[in-house]
Each structure stands twice: as structure tokens, then as C-alpha cells.
Structure 1
Amino acid sequence: MTDVITIPATTPLAQKAAADGVRFILATFVDMNGKPCAKLVPIEALDELEAGALGFAGFAAGAIGQRPQDPDICVIPDPDSYANLDFIKPGLAMVQCDPYVNGEPWPFAPRVILKNVLETLRGKGMTAMVGAEIEYFLLARDADGSIHTADTRDSSGQPCYDARGVTRMFEHLATTSKAMNDLGWGNYANDHEDGNGQFEQNFTFADALTTADRVITLRYIISMVAEAQGMTATFMPKPFSNRSGNGMHLHLSLWSESGDSLFPAEGDAHGLGLSSTAYSFIAGILDHAPALQAFIAPSVNSYKRSGARTTTSGATWSPRVADFGGNDRTHFIRVPDGNRIELRGGDGSANPYLAIAAALTAGLHGISRGANPGAPNGPGIPGDAATPLPPTLLHAVEALRTSELLAEAFGPAVTAYYADVKEEEFLTWHNTVTPWEIDRYLTAF
């Protein structure tokens, strides 16, 4: 039997760890690509962690605005993000952290960027509530590197909501569901999505920062649970050309400091149950949609999803233009009811901190201008005058480079660095000769 280690519980994080018998904490932050970076910290070193004494070589961690010669990134844990992961490894917990350099919040850190945007929101007397839909595939990988659906019986042409497919993946889904409920997140649904091997798991909406933290933690949980069961979980937007892709739809609403929702209204001109504030928020997102895509659809592969022509099931579920409508899943922004809007342009590769920060920034700009999105589009009818979404990551980066709004909100150096990282990602892919090119061109001329 493992000896119980007794550490004085003098801080909220220490108290939570002591109550759960935690022996190690994954002190975690993400780079701009959303990669979870962590150190495994023994509970005996919790004081050092909370004091910001543990350093990371930022350049080695990933895209987070550092060069090899820069000072260490040190992290400060947020006890509100604490998650007991005892079901993955006995005695393990995770906490999301804010990166600092030389004692100051690091401006390139995604969590810091979102917190800055939320501070701006608070300065206007508002808070943001966000829900996130997490879609992913459960796959197996062959020795030659090829992938296939982990459940070999999952081969129906229209597998969405199939009770048998859900049941065959019961252990994975139930383990993840229980973890979310044990953490107090309120898991309320787990279903088979539109693609073979694709699933979605949902938790109750919360304040913007909490939801972003939970997305990072849940991706980790899903991945680890899948690995323990001999599978690979992927949030990649489009792992199969003939199947639907992985979205990360965001449900957004603004609230007053007194706790009243600012979105619902009765008798509005467009009949969607929204206030003028909500319509202006929508207009801001639509106006900045091309640049916004660089954050909510931030990978080369994202544009295989948003540009898809067809799928086996008959629908791509991915918008191609920046429009909005009622309870209709064909639009960039869906309005399921008067309490919230659903931003459907984002995918599984999105960094939740940056995606939410960019969406809120665009929406607030619409509110500040009293912008009007015009009339909503009808069911299945894209707006003829709607702005087309970028066809590639490079187009999205070009839109981002011209966005004065996002440069001001995130900082010019931050947006320029992020744009450079994403442009390099595109060019690296573009410079890679693919099997498609060999098949098409090898003997074509």
C-alpha cells in the first residue's frame, strides 16, 4: 500500500489535493496551437509551484512567442481549474496555469489572452457564458500508419445516433461521462456523431474561462481513456475525406454583472427572440469572420472540413459563408433560442482560449458600433450577400494580418507572431508532395 503523504493544506489548491489524496499534479498550460504542456509536480513541491518557481523553456514547449535565448516561462496554477484524475492514474490531478515571464503575465499565452479580453468585457459591465461541443473520432492505427475506425462494425452509411454504435463504445463513453460528472461539469449527453467512429460529449455551459479550461482538460481525458482501451482519439478537423469532420461549436451569451442575460427579448424585428445587443454581437462576428477563422479553424486540415463538397452521410455540417439564421445547422451562426447563439465555424483543432477570445472581441466590436446583421437567412438558404469564409488557412491568415481589431485586442506583436506561425504551417504543408499529386501528375504530361 502506498504511504499517505501529509502536506499542510494552507491554500485552496493544497486543500483540494489533500482532500483527494493527490500525490502528483500535472501543472498544465497550452501553446498557441493548443498543445497541452505540463510538468508532473509532486505534492511535496506544491509550494514551489504556487510560488511560480517552476520554469519551462518556452521555445521548446511550442508556439508561444519565445526564442531559445529567452528567459523561462514560469506558471501560476489556478485552483478553480483543478481536476482530480484519479481514474486515469491513482493520486493524479491536473490544474491549468497562467504563464509568466520575469514576473509578468506572458502576452503570448492563450489563457492570458482570454483573461485580458474578459477583463475588457468586465470593464463594460458584462460577463460571457460559453458552452462547447467536443467532437472526436475513435480510431486504430495500422503498422503502415494508416487509420481506420476502432469499432470495425461501425460501417453504416448513416451512423449518427446509432444506439448500437454507442453501446459498443460504452466503456469509453461511460468512463469519460463519469469523470465529467465527478468533476461537477454536468455531462448531459454522449452520442454517436455523423461520421463512422465519431462521437460527441457535452457538459453544461459555464463562464468563458472555465469552459476553455474544461475543453483542454476534457481533450486530455478523452485521449488518455482512449489510449488505455487501445484506441486513438483525434480531434483533427477532417481525418477522412468522405466523412463529416470534427467541429467545436461554441454557444455564446453575454450577461450583466447582476446576473441577467443580455440576449433574450420578446417581439424583436427578426423573430429570433434576441435583443438588439445580441444582434449587434452577431453582426460583429459576421463582420470579422474571415480573420476569426484563423483562430476557430486554425489548421491546414480545417479547410478540408469547411470546404468539403460531400460526405457519405449526405451533409458536411460545416458552413461555407458567414451568415446567420434560426434553429438551422447550415449557418455560420445558429440561433437555437433567445438565450444564446451558436458559432458553428470552429473545429476540433481550435485553441479554446484563442477561439473564445477572438469571438468575444469581434462580437463586442459589433456592440460598440450598434451594428446590424440584417435579416436572418431562411432554413438551408445561405445569404447571397454573405461573406465567403476563407478557402484555406493562408487566406484566413491574410485576413488576420489586416485585422486592426484583433491586433489591438491581442497585441500587434502577438497577432503578427501567430500569423507567422500559421503561415509557416500552411507553407510547410504546401511544400510537401502528396500521394494525390503523384497519382494525378506522374504520367499526366
Structure 2
Amino acid sequence: MIEVKPDAEISAIQDDLKRRGVKYCMGTYVDIHGIPKGKVVPLSHLHHMAHGSELYTGYALDGLGQAPNDDEIASVPDLDQIIQLPWQPEVAWMPADNTLYGEPYMLNTRVLLKSVLKQAEAMGFGMNLGIEAEVFLLKKDENGKLVAPDPDDKLKKPCYDTRAFLSNFSWLDKMATSINELGWGLYSFDHEDANGQFEFDFNYADAVTTCDRFTFLKMMAKEYAKEEGLLATFMPKPFSNKTGNGAHFNMSLYDLETRENLFQCRPSDDPNGLGLTELGYQFIGGILKHGPALCAVFAPTVNSYKRLVRQGDMPYFTWAPVFNSYGSNNRTNSVRVPMGGGRCESRNADGAVNPYLACALVLAAGLEGVREAIDPGKPQETNLYELSEQEREELGIGFLPRTLDEAITAFDADPFVEQVLGKELKQEFIRYKRAEWNEYHTAVSQWEIEKYSHLF
């Protein structure tokens, strides 16, 4: 059963929300793509909502595994994670878990993540997660083409451009102020490596909380962009000649009793000098073992693989990982141990990620690495983009999938995926992603028309 708070506690929450001017409650879960879904109820209905009164036709949603004749699923809001909308304070947003007949519905990816965290808890571990949020702030020109709103934001290498920060101050200020007032601990934000692109970095938290915050942040960025007459997109690769939107996962395990970071050690105690414990290396070993399959959920769209290229239509390297490897502060690996150690970073996650689904699988992979004491080998410290194929093969470095089709094939072929997701959720993901690939593969693009229509 999904735990529901006592009525007295719900009443206290309701009274507090009323004092803060809240009129409506929005219980939100995500579909298989990570897209928020839910219903809005008057504050007076919170008691009913907290007990699963709001029902949903699962067949109307992607990836919930229901047919038209199936009973409705319910959602139960998490009243420990309430966020009052900064731009619409009459509304309180609440992440929710799906249930069926009062039991957790395992095709809900937030429910799935909680179940994998239970496995970690049985081993004495909790999981901390930080997600680096990269986003494009854009507008449409007179031809409907996406462009940076600031006409002077056109440097070839615009990363950390302070002038562009001031040009977009209104939107950035709204975002930064809200992140801080929500208590997330914003510690840095900057202009990223593409024109019109920004990144927000805030404190890590437990895995579920960070996934909730990332989901909310995407909605908030879009709403504040609308107020500026602009649009915000976390699309992995909106421009062929610019870097894309990553959503790097920074992960560590902690001791449930002491809260001690179990990946952290002094560099002098680490034979590789990275400041990572043996447990941390084993966790990375599990990630690399299942790297190709994990790519399908970290980079879940056709567009994702326009980002995961060495160079592409650009004069310099993209920073996106294409190799199933790890290293220290070497961004050509898919898994990085940042300076100072104590965590590992999966770099192939992008802005289209369903954070709950990806986190569930990568955590399960890491836990398998711990259980099986998998050695990831020596860290790769060279620029992997510049290796010859022979050098790469001699080092035993494999490529990650290079298309969504390859990623889904790897996802389908790895028995580990079904062990974690169950057969039904695994097949739901494959079904939708195969359909997405087929739709893309049979569509006729403008590039094809311009290249071939005058030739034949």
C-alpha cells in the first residue's frame, strides 16, 4: 500500500496552504517520457485527493500499460514535497504516485525508483543525486525559425559569456530567485556553450527529491519564458551546429545511519588518485557493464543522438560522450569522476530524460556493480575523441549506441533491464521508442528535399 498521512496531519497541511493563499492543488505524475500529467482540485478537496480520489484512464497516457477495458488508476500526492508555484501562488504543485486497487502501480516510474531505492536500503545505502539543468532560452523569428533572443549572442564560443547573462537578466533572475526561495540551494548559473543556452546548478538531494525538482524546474523555466515572450526548451539538440542540452547525473551512495558519503576518500587513499572509494569504483563498474542499455533511458529520443556525436556540424568537439568509459576530469568519457572525487557523473543524460526512469536503472546497475564487486579498470585520461579505432580497440573502449534504434536494441537485449523494470514496463518503453524511431525513419525531412529534389 502507498502510505497516506493521518487525517489530522493532512488538515494541518491544508490549513497552512490556505494561510499561504493556496486555492488549488495540482497532483502530478509523469508518463513514460517524463511529461507531467495530473488533475487540479480545490484545496478543500485535498483530503480526498490524498486518499487517491483522482482517477485516470491509463489508456489515454503513454507507457502506463493499460487497455481501454482496464480499470482506472489513481494518484496519491506526496505531501512532503509540496511546491507553491512562485509565478502562480494560488496553486500548490505536488508530485504523485500512481496506484491500482490501492497498491503501488509499478509502471509509474516514480514508484519504480522508490522500489529500487528499497533495494539500496536493504544494503544499507541511500542515494544522493544532483542533475545539472541545461536549457535553451529562444524565440521564433519572422520565419518561425528558433533563434537566440539576443541578436548579439553570436560568439563562436559563447560559454560563460557575462554580457549575455545581463541581456537575459529578467528571465535568469526569475529562475535564480525562485530556485533559491524554494530552498534548493542554487550555487551557480551561467551562459553555456551554445548561443541562447544556460545552465543552473543547485544542491544535490536524495534521488526522489532531485527528480521531483528537475521535473518542476522544466515547467518553471517554460512558464517564466512565456512571461518574457520567449520559449525555453530542454530539447537535446535544437541546433545542428551548436552543443546540446545535457542533464548530467551526479551520483553517490551514503550510509543510511551516519549519512556519510560512501564514495568519498582522500586522493592519497585512492590508487588512481581520484578521491573515490572502492565502492564508488564498483558502482561505476555496474554502470559501464550496462552502459549501452542505460543509454536508451538517459538519451531517449531520436534527437538525443544528434547530440551524442564526436563533432558533427561544428568546428570543435561537442563535449557529449560517445564512449562507454570512465575517467577523472576528462569530459570525453561517458562517466566522469569530478575533481575532488566523492561522486560519479553520467554525462550521456540529456534534457529529454525521464529522471525517475533513468535514475532507477542507473542505481540498479550501480548496485549490481557493488554486489558483484565489478572492477571498471583504470580510468581513461586521454582525449578519446582523438584516438584511432585501433587505439580505442586496444584499450577495450566501446562506443555507446549512435542512434535511438541502436539504443533500443541494446536495451532489449540486456536481461538486466527486465529484472529492474519488469516485463510490462520494459515492453511499453520499447513499443513507444520503436514507434518513435519508425516515425522518424519514414518521415521526409527538409534536408532531403533540398538535397535530392533538384537532382532526380
Task: Output the TM-score relative to the length of structure 2.
Answer: 0.92
Matched, 1:26 2:37: no
Cα offset, 1:63, TM superposition: 2.8
The equivalent residue for 2:384 is: 381
In the alignment, structure 1 segments of 5+ residues that lack a partner are 1-6
**2:433 equivalent among 422, 428, 437:** 422
Matched, 1:270 2:281: no
SS across alignment from 1:261 = coil
The 5 A counterparts of 1:186-335 are 186-258=185-257, 259-266=259-266, 267-307=269-309, 309-310=311-312, 312=314, 314-335=316-337
In the alignment, structure 2 segments of 5+ residues that lack a partner are 1-6, 386-391
Query: Which range is displaced more, 413-422 or 54-63?
Result: 54-63
1:8 touches 1:14 (CA, 8 Å); kept in 2? no
Q: CA RMSD in A?
A: 1.8
Matched, 1:357 2:360: yes
1:157 touches 1:312 (CA, 8 Å); kept in 2? no
The letter for the 2-side match of 1:414 is: L
2:10 touches 2:47 (CA, 8 Å); kept in 1? no
Distance 2:8 2:341 in 1: 48
Cα offset, 1:344, TM superposition: 0.4
2:264 touches 2:277 (CA, 8 Å); kept in 1? yes
SS across alignment from 1:18 = helix
1:24 touches 1:93 (CA, 8 Å); kept in 2? yes
The letter for the 1-side match of 2:350 is: D
Distance 1:350 1:10 in 2: 32
1:9 touches 1:15 (CA, 8 Å); kept in 2? no
Distance 2:365 2:180 in 1: 33
SS across alignment from 1:80 = coil
1:9 touches 1:18 (CA, 8 Å); kept in 2? no
Describe the shift of the 1:280–1:42 C-alpha distance in structure 2 as closer, same or farther (beyond 3 A).
same
Q: What per-residue deviation string (whole Å, max 9, x for no partner) do you get for residues 161-192 of structure 1?
A: 11110111111111111111111111111110
Cα offset, 1:9, TM superposition: 6.9
Describe the shift of the 1:16–1:82 C-alpha distance in structure 2 as closer, same or farther (beyond 3 A).
farther
Cα offset, 1:310, TM superposition: 3.9
Query: Which range is displaced more, 279-288 or 62-71?
Result: 62-71
Cα offset, 1:311, TM superposition: 5.6
**1:340 equivalent among 333, 338, 343:** 343
Distance 1:153 1:67 in 2: 52
**1:371 equivalent among 365, 371, 374:** 374
Cα offset, 1:93, TM superposition: 1.5
Query: Which range is displaced more, 374-383 or 253-262?
Result: 374-383
Distance 2:111 2:76 in 1: 11
Q: What per-residue deviation string (whole Å, max 9, x for no partner) do you get for residues 280-305 of structure 1?
A: 11111011110001100000000000
Matched, 1:84 2:84: yes
Distance 2:118 2:11 in 1: 25
Task: Output the TM-score relative to the length of structure 1.
Answer: 0.94
Distance 2:295 2:330 in 1: 20
**1:395 equivalent among 391, 406, 428:** 406
SS across alignment from 2:200 = strand
1:157 touches 1:313 (CA, 8 Å); kept in 2? no
Describe the shift of the 1:380–1:36 C-alpha distance in structure 2 as closer, same or farther (beyond 3 A).
same
The equivalent residue for 1:51 is: 51
Q: What per-residue deviation string (whole Å, max 9, x for no partner) do you get for residues 227-282 of structure 1?
A: 11111100000000000000000100001112111112342222212111111111
The letter for the 1-side match of 2:353 is: A
Cα offset, 1:27, TM superposition: 1.1
Distance 2:11 2:337 in 1: 42
Query: Which range is displaced more, 133-142 or 302-311?
Result: 302-311
Query: Which range is displaced more, 303-312 or 419-428?
Result: 303-312
2:63 touches 2:425 (CA, 8 Å); kept in 1? no
Distance 1:188 1:12 in 2: 33
Distance 1:157 1:333 in 2: 27
Distance 1:49 1:238 in 2: 38
The equivalent residue for 2:388 is: none
How many residues matched? Answer: 438
2:11 touches 2:47 (CA, 8 Å); kept in 1? no
1:12 touches 1:79 (CA, 8 Å); kept in 2? no
1:237 touches 1:247 (CA, 8 Å); kept in 2? yes
The equivalent residue for 1:4 is: none
Distance 2:316 2:420 in 1: 40
The equivalent residue for 2:145 is: 146
Cα offset, 1:312, TM superposition: 4.7
The equivalent residue for 1:439 is: 450
1:243 touches 1:313 (CA, 8 Å); kept in 2? no
1:158 touches 1:312 (CA, 8 Å); kept in 2? no
Cα offset, 1:38, TM superposition: 2.2
SS across alignment from 2:132 = strand
Describe the shift of the 1:420–1:187 C-alpha distance in structure 2 as closer, same or farther (beyond 3 A).
same
Cα offset, 1:146, TM superposition: 2.2
- Aligned-residue sequence identity (percent) comes to 38
Distance 1:313 1:36 in 2: 37
The letter for the 1-side match of 2:280 is: A
The letter for the 2-side match of 1:84 is: Q
Describe the shift of the 1:13–1:425 C-alpha distance in structure 2 as closer, same or farther (beyond 3 A).
farther
Describe the shift of the 1:158–1:139 C-alpha distance in structure 2 as closer, same or farther (beyond 3 A).
same
